[in-house]
Amino acid sequence: MEKIIQPLYKLFHQLRTIWYDINIKEQVIFRQLRNVNEQRYTSFNQPLVTVTIPTLNRSQMLKDRSIPSILNQTYQNFEVVVVGDHCTDDTEHVLNSFNDSRIRFYNLPEPTKYPTNKFHRWRVGGTKPSNLALDMASGDWIAHLDDDEIFTSDRIEKMLQFAHETNSELVYGIHHEQRSAKQWDIYDNPDPKQMKIARSGVMYRSYLKCFKYRDDTYKFNRPHDKDLWKRMLKSGVRMRYLNHLVTYAPLKPGELEKQAENWFPTQSTNND
């Protein structure tokens, strides 16, 4: 009996995954929005870019890393939408201290309920505030930044220019992720099918907001962001790789065996 049940269960899981990846309603909405909005992206006229940041009690990271790296951009027509997953620290005060009307903050009145399993929770953590930030975004382009990560100063400018030149709907660049004092993981695969795409290294047209982060991707053994890129790719979204460093994530204070050395990647480490 077991020899019969196991293949049937495997087949069921495969069919379920295929159906999960190919959401017909989502694809229909995407194509309708593309047809309506395509024309507005043919001209390059200083479009508004929305940077979305989900966060939870990381006011110091917002203060020291993510927000300053956005405000320091060579391209300045942006807004920042920060959504707290029921923050209980001084996040709102820190954001107000920048005294910049382009920064908006909303704090969820109740914490999101995630899976109790730590690994499963990591797979889907931040889905609700991320989706709400997308709903609140008013820009023509969407860029994401984790609260503990950093944009290179020309990140928005370079990606906008590249997206316009290639008529892309989604562009992604190189991301450096620090794992130890001397080890960095590099996200730089030019083939989007390989899914080596860092969420903070992505920018896409605003009508792609119809694709939302799902909170059950752990059931299919994938993080919510990789799931999002996969669904976009299967729906026919035009994705292009920019061979340029756009984001990096140094170790957080007290993380791993010791503090990171004073080393930061520079924008000139890759050819454009």
pLDDT, one tens digit per residue, over 10-57 is 554 555 555 555 678 888 999 999 999 998 898 878 999 999 999 999
Amino acid at 157: E
Any bridge partners for residue 170, and if so which? 204, 239
Specify burial of residue 117 (Cβ count, 10 A radius: 0-12, 13-18, 19+).
exposed
**The three-state (H, E, C) secondary structure of the chain, written as one string:** CHHHHHHHHHHHHHHHHHHHHCCHHHHHHHHHHHHHHHHHHCCCCCCCEEEEEEECCCHHHHHHHHHHHHHCCCCCCEEEEEEECCCCCCHHHHHHHCCCCCEEEEECCCCCCCCCCHHHHHHHCCHHHHHHHHHHCCCCEEEECCCCCEECCCHHHHHHHHHHHHCCCEEEEEEEEECCCCCEEEECCCCHHHCCCCHHHEEEEHHHHHCCCCCCHHHHCCCHHHHHHHHHHHCCCCEEEEEEEEEEECCCCCCCCCCCCCCCCCHHHCCC
Question: 172: which strand partners?
Answer: 202, 241
Q: What average pLDDT score do residues 215-223 get?
A: 90
Helices 224-234, 2-21: axis angle to 10 degrees equals: 70
Query: Is residue 272's pLDDT more than 50?
Result: no
Q: How confident is the model at residue 85 (pLDDT cuts 50, 70, 90)?
A: very high
pLDDT band at 181 (very low <50, low <70, confident <90, very high): confident
pLDDT for 62-80, tens place per residue? 999 999 999 999 999 999 9
Residue 256, pLDDT > 60, answer no
CB 124 within 8 A of CB 224: yes
User: 170 pLDDT exceeds 80?
Assistant: yes
pLDDT at 260: 42
What is the per-residue pLDDT for 16? Answer: 54
Q: Residue 93, class by beta-carbon neighbours within 10 Å (0-12 exposed, 13-18 middle, 19+ buried)?
A: exposed
**Average pLDDT along the chain:** 88
pLDDT above 90 coverage of the chain, percent: 74
Q: Taking residues 157-170, what's their average pLDDT?
A: 97
Q: What is the per-residue pLDDT for 261?
A: 46
- For the chain, which domains are there? 2-269 (3.90.550.10)
What's the pLDDT band for 270 if we cut at 50, 70, 90? Answer: very low
Question: For the chain, how far is it from start to end, CA to CA, in angstroms?
Answer: 58
**Using CA atoms, how far apart are residues 106 and 87, in angstroms rounded to an integer?**
10
Q: What is the pLDDT of residue 262?
A: 46
Window from 24-33, 103-112, 141-150, 185-194 with minimum mean pLDDT: 24-33
Question: Comparing 119 with 260, which gets the higher pLDDT?
Answer: 119
CA distances from 69 to 66, 76, 222, 247, 259 (A): 5, 12, 29, 10, 20
Which tokens belong to 8? 């049937």
For position 24, what pLDDT does the model report? 80
Under 8 Å CB-to-CB from 220, ≥6 apart: which residues? 17, 20, 227
